[in-house]
A and B are shown apart, each in its own frame.
Chain A
Amino acid sequence: MLDAGRHAKINLLAYSQVEEVSGEVGAFQLKVRKKARYVNEDLCTGCGACVEKCPSTVKDEFDVGLGERKAIYKYFPQGIPSTHCIDAENCRQLGQGKKCGICAKVCQADAIDYEQQDQLVDLEVGAIVLATGYDVFDPSVIPEYGYGRIDNVVTALEFERLLSASGPTHGHLDRPSELALRVEIAALEKELQKATRQIDKLEEKHGKKTAEFVKEFKAGKAGEDGDFERWAGLAEKAAVAEEKLAPLKKRDAAAHTAKKLAFIQCVGSRDFRFNRFCSSYCCMHSVKEAMIAHEHDNETTSSIFCMDLRAVGRGFEEYKLRGGESANIEYVRGRVAEITEDESLNPIAWYESTTTRQVEHETFDMVVLATACVPSAGTPKLAELMGLKLDENGFFKTDPLAPLDTNRAGIFVCGCAQGPMDIPESVVQASSAAARAAEVVSMAGEVAVGGS
């Protein structure tokens, strides 16, 4: 990432989108919209003082909605280019028409520019490599798995963020239900604190304790004063908040990290209702996540529910076996039919074990759905823009004997834009696509050999 950002021969256009494509192999003309960041990239030092002071908080896309970020943000800490960006929609100053300007005030580099506009960049290129990646299948369309309804059912990518030391829980396997609980507690505590502050002022002003006042007020002996109605209201509010807080805090104190995990394979793939194809990497992905969870806490046990576990790749079968032997992973052959929830918010997986031929159920702390790899949302639009064909699954169409070539000469495709694949395969394809593109560019006579 860093190398790509620094390389003299790479012009990095992040936060940009292709709008127009014309021309043909050897001489494509493109129009790219460089979206306004409202932060001057050349001046921003990435210090993050603006983030600290920004008053607008929204869900963080990088943490797949499990964490929060500010309206001015860096997509992720190690992100390249190492610069910030204002999300105009959620910014008080830009999107909501309020007076704010805090980030501009705290920025010592004077990098904030509310007037910045989108820029249209014209490019002339010899070849195009499409590496537009994939999207994660949205499992909320499978009602029986309860994703979105049952807090402790998460996607594999969400689980990955929970495991990550730079993620929303700093690598602790806190369950989403407990995260939601903590948010609720924090909101109530804030409300209580606000009420208490106002009550303290009233106590000082009138020289009596709230308990005493409430007693008098209820008995109608408090007398007349403009403050009294408000005081009584605040006292009531504080009492209600305290009452609500007690059981929530008790639940939070009893909470523990997730130690018993279930992984459900083929969620949205190899399922004729959604996608017929196999997403290929999810089997190993689940084994990996179960192993990392076990590394975090040796008491963690995992059950991987699958039709079959596909460990096709160098070292993959050994990795799978190692997981079973040393990371408390049990491989269960059976497809989970339904997930329900008990009163402690633990998900229960119902399945038919094809080895025992019995319908069984088991309670877990958390269920991870190994969601399918589906074409990224922008794929059809891009295909139309470039005049490319898509295959029956919606990925860019290629020929089995020329797996990197699209139907247009000079446009190549690699990685998950072409179909589901894992990281090593993506890297192999990327290098091959680069070689194919280089061939085209050098034939067009545009190569400056020995430039690097």
Chain B
Amino acid sequence: MVLGGGIAGIQASLDLAEMGIQVHLVETLPCIGGKMAQLDKTFPTNDCAI
């Protein structure tokens, strides 16, 4: 089980799922994305965060 659906939780879930392991991703908020989804761009490349 992965607890928290921010960037770390999403990455961990995807990696585990790609290994063929069943993952339960639990997030308290209505949607996954976490703080990163609130960001406009990310450093150092100024790429869009979403």
The interface of chain A, by Cβ under 8 A from chain B, is: 1, 3-5, 7-18, 28, 30, 32, 37, 62, 64, 74-76, 78-81, 85, 123, 125, 127-134, 157, 160-161, 163-165, 167, 171, 284-285, 287-288, 291-292, 295, 313-316, 318-319, 378, 382, 414-417, 422-423, 426-427, 429-431, 433-435, 437-438, 441, 447-452
Give Cα A15 to B25, complex, Å.
Answer: 11
B8 touches A18 (CB 8 A): no
* 24 residue pairs bridging A and B, Cβ less than 8 Å apart: A4-B32, A10-B14, A32-B24, A62-B38, A75-B33, A79-B30, A80-B32, A80-B33, A123-B24, A131-B5, A133-B9, A164-B40, A288-B42, A315-B44, A378-B28, A415-B7, A415-B9, A416-B8, A430-B10, A434-B19, A437-B12, A441-B21, A448-B21, A451-B20
Q: Which B residues, 1 to 50, have Cβ-Cβ distances below 8 Å to chain A?
A: 1-46, 50
- Known contacts A284-B44, A314-B44; can you find 16 more A-B pairs with CB under 8 A? A1-B10, A3-B14, A4-B13, A7-B23, A10-B14, A11-B23, A12-B5, A16-B28, A76-B38, A85-B30, A416-B8, A430-B8, A431-B11, A448-B22, A451-B22, A452-B19
A128 touches B3 (CB 8 A): yes
With A434-B12, A434-B15, A438-B16 in contact, do A160 and B31 touch (Cβ < 8 Å)? no
CB-defined contacts of B1 to chain A, threshold 8 Å: 28, 30, 123, 125, 127-129
Give Cα A414 to B30, complex, Å.
Answer: 22
CB-defined contacts of B21 to chain A, threshold 8 Å: 9, 437-438, 441, 447-448, 451
- Tally of A-B residue pairs with Cβ under 8 A? 228
B37 touches A285 (CB 8 A): no
CB-defined contacts of A426 to chain B, threshold 8 Å: 6-8, 11
Min C-beta distance of A442 to chain B, whole Å: 8
- Among residues of A, the one whose C-beta sits closest to the C-beta of B44 is A319
- Among residues of A, the one whose C-beta sits closest to the C-beta of B45 is A315
Question: Of the candidates B7, B19, B50, which one forms a contact with A438 in the assembled complex, judged by CB atoms under 8 Å apart?
Answer: B19
Give Cα A427 to B21, complex, Å.
Answer: 19
- Among residues of A, the one whose C-beta sits closest to the C-beta of B10 is A4
B46 touches A288 (CB 8 A): yes
The interface of chain B, by Cβ under 8 A from chain A, is: 1-46, 50
- Which applies to chain A's interface (DSSP): helix, strand, loop or mixed? mixed
B41 touches A4 (CB 8 A): no
B32 touches A133 (CB 8 A): no
- Among residues of A, the one whose C-beta sits closest to the C-beta of B50 is A78
A125 touches B16 (CB 8 A): no
B40 touches A130 (CB 8 A): no
A430 touches B30 (CB 8 A): no
CB-defined contacts of A80 to chain B, threshold 8 Å: 31-33
Min C-beta distance of B18 to chain A, whole Å: 5
With A163-B40, A292-B40 in contact, do A10 and B25 touch (Cβ < 8 Å)? yes
CB-defined contacts of A422 to chain B, threshold 8 Å: 43
- Among residues of A, the one whose C-beta sits closest to the C-beta of B35 is A133
Give Cα A292 to B42, complex, Å.
Answer: 10
A414 touches B8 (CB 8 A): yes
A131 touches B40 (CB 8 A): no
B17 touches A452 (CB 8 A): yes
B4 touches A1 (CB 8 A): no
Min C-beta distance of A21 to chain B, whole Å: 10
B13 touches A79 (CB 8 A): no
Give Cα A288 to B26, complex, Å.
Answer: 31
CB-defined contacts of B40 to chain A, threshold 8 Å: 160-161, 163-165, 167, 171, 292
Question: Of the candidates A3, A129, A165, A284, which one forms a contact with B9 in the assembled complex, judged by CB atoms under 8 Å apart?
Answer: A129
A-B complex: 9 closest residue pairs judged by Cβ atoms: A415-B8, A79-B31, A451-B20, A131-B9, A434-B15, A430-B11, A131-B4, A9-B17, A131-B8
Question: Of the candidates A11, A74, A315, which one forms a contact with B31 in the assembled complex, judged by CB atoms under 8 Å apart?
Answer: A74
